[in-house]
Amino acid sequence: MNSIPPLTMIVPEMTFAELAENFALFDDWDDRYRYLIDLGRKLPQLPDTLKSAANKVRGCMSQVWMVPGHPVGEPGKFAFAADSDAHIVKGLIAVLGILFSGQSPEAIAAVDTDAAFRALGLDQHISPSRRNGLVSMVEKIKGYAKA
């Protein structure tokens, strides 16, 4: 029998307001992209055994895998573990972790992700294909939280 290593959920290191302040510190989008990539590098590792078709997020050009869960000791709150083969997408996963991890299902349902990404300026600076993938990830998160 295959043993799956313990899964570490994404735990935000900052609030969304702090993230927006950090984004505002950078003068150009190259620096913001580097910051986004750095956020993605800090994500917990998703074991290869969980990078399966069952955990794959459909609608993303990149490979994205997502597994739902809960923060340790908080079964009423949502968290997730995720990974991607694309650096910027991993950064977007980190942003979604800041928005959604540790929230109740009701709070997750109320999150306006379009407004959040406008606040960061990402709505104007990610490609249409990445935007579609982002929508797919948000739908997956909201579906997991509702279940």
**Residue 142: what pLDDT?**
94
* Mean pLDDT score of the chain: 89
Check pLDDT > 80 for residue 98.
Answer: yes
Assigned CATH topology for domain 16-146: Sufe protein. Chain: A (3.90.1010)
Q: Which of 96, 33, 31 is nearest to 60 (CA)?
A: 96
Write down the catalytic residue from 10, 46, 60, 93. 60
Instruction: Give residue limits of the domains in the chain.
Output: 16-146
Alpha-carbon gap, residue 77 to 60, rounded angstroms: 26
Alpha-carbon gap, residue 90 to 9, rounded angstroms: 14
Q: Is 21 a catalytic residue?
A: no
- Exposed, middle or buried by CB within 10 Å (0-12, 13-18, 19+), for 123? middle
**Residue 115: what pLDDT?**
94
DSSP string of 102-134?
TB-HHHHHH--HHHHHHHHTHHHHS-HHHHHHH
The per-residue pLDDT for range 114-125, each reduced to its tens digit, is: 999 999 988 888
Tell me what the mean pLDDT of segment 28-33 comes to.
92
Alpha-carbon gap, residue 46 to 59, rounded angstroms: 20
- Number of Cβ within 10 Å of residue 66's Cβ equals 23
